[in-house]
Amino acid sequence: MIILGIESSCDDTSAAIINDCVLLSNVIASQKVHEAYGGVVPELASRAHQQNIVPVVSEAIRQAGITKSDIDAIAFTRGPGLPGSLHVGTSFSKGLALALGIPLVDVNHLHGHVLAHFIKEDENTPVPEFPFLCLLISGGNSQIIKVNSPGDMEILGQTIDDAAGEAFDKCAKVMGLPYPGGPIIDQLAQQGDPNRFKFAKPHIAGYNYSFSGLKTSFLYTLRDQLKLNPQFIEENKAHLAASLQKTIIDILMDKFAKAIKDTGIKTIAIAGGVSANSGVREAVQRYCDRRGIKAFIPKRSFTTDNAAMIAVAGHFQYLAGHTCPITAPPFARVVI
């Protein structure tokens, strides 16, 4: 079964082709236009999606070595995301499905991130067994999810304020780094001392996360130190990045480890943009190696927004008999 996946929830326009979850192509056009503004500008994002979507889909079909008539179904991100951006992918998918006379499958973007672990590079790619626990960490979400099957995901815990990616990006911003700051903090952290600075960690019961206290304590540290030394950030960039990254990892691992212990589940996965972070990947791998737990760490190209994960999620939805009508609107927030 050949599926075309289309992703346009934020600032990446992506199209991918899979054949029974084996990846044939995955084309991503990232939007550079937002860099000058220090964050994603929704109106500019939807305009860039409009410019990108036709060439990106054509290129995905070309790279896959198929023609339009080989496609069995179209899977698209219906939400959550930026409304204007979602509209572009949704409308395009509907138009193409109508023209080709093939079914449409709507995909929850977050399910896509989790199911990225089922993208196969070839027939032998290992995939997680159900149930597994997934730590989904991105720019907009931080969740611990018990994945019982492709269509049955239980959220055990989630952030009550900022997401892990926001903590990286917002702290990077106050350090004067460009957006998105997460990957830059990751790079800087390699040369820094993670124990040089101490930042606040939350005390919340259960499996929920909070990152806003860390953000405030980071901000206060900078403010106090800058009064004493205006060169403080410049002189301590790497140490600040390493200490910030260590604190975020400690917060993430504390609750994730608790969920792993309490559920007794022996297969775990990480997903979402922040799972590209070197420190997070090492910490998860180390934790699992010591306890005989199987860890699925995604390829970096499948951690950030991509259509391959949407196509795979659509594959499972379609097999379960789930298609969506041509009238289905995108959802900015509602979980499908």
Nearer Cβ to ligand KG4 (97/111) = 111
Cβ atoms of 47 and 329 within 8 Å: the answer is: no
Q: Nearer to ligand KG4 by C-beta: 224 or 254?
A: 254
Select 186 or 295, whichever has its Cβ closest to ligand KG4.
186
For residues 134 and 145, the answer to whether their CB atoms sit within 8 Å is yes
- Kindly tell me which of 147 and 276 has the beta carbon lying closer to ligand KG4: 276
Binding status of residue 304 toward ligand KG4 by CB under 6 A: yes
Residue nearest to ligand KG4 (CB): 273
Terminal-residue alpha carbon distance, the chain: 23
Binding positions for ligand KG4, 253-272, rule CB under 6 A: 272
Whole-number Å distance between alpha carbons of 204 and 197: 22
Say how far apart CA 12 and CA 288 lie, in whole Å. Answer: 32
Burial class (CB in 10 A: 0-12, 13-18, 19+), 36: exposed
x-marked contacts with ligand KG4 along 269-288 as a string, rule CB under 6 A: ---xxx-xx-----------
Instruction: At 17, give phi and psi (nearest 5°).
Output: -120, 130
Please report which residue ranges of 34-82 form alpha helices under DSSP H.
42-64
Q: Which of 79, 112, 183, 213 binds ligand KG4 (CB under 6 A)?
A: 183
Say if CB 206 and CB 143 are below 8 A apart.
Answer: no
Site string for ligand KG4, 123-162 (x = CB under 6 A): ---------------xxx----------------------
CA angle at residue 175 from 172 to 176, to 5 degrees?
95
Binding residue for ligand KG4, selected from 7, 106, 162, 169, defined by CB under 6 A: 169
93 or 143: CB nearest ligand KG4: 143
How many other C-beta atoms lie within 10 A of the C-beta of residue 319? 13
Query: According to the binding rule CB under 6 A, does residue 31 interact with ligand KG4?
Result: no
Q: Does 106 bind ligand KG4 (CB under 6 A)?
A: no
Are the CB atoms for 330 and 83 separated by under 8 Å? yes
Q: How far is the CB of 67 from ligand KG4 (least distance, A)?
A: 31
Q: How many residues bind ligand KG4 (CB under 6 A)?
A: 19
Binding site for ligand KG4 (CB under 6 A): 10, 138-140, 165, 168-169, 180-183, 186, 272-274, 276-277, 304-305
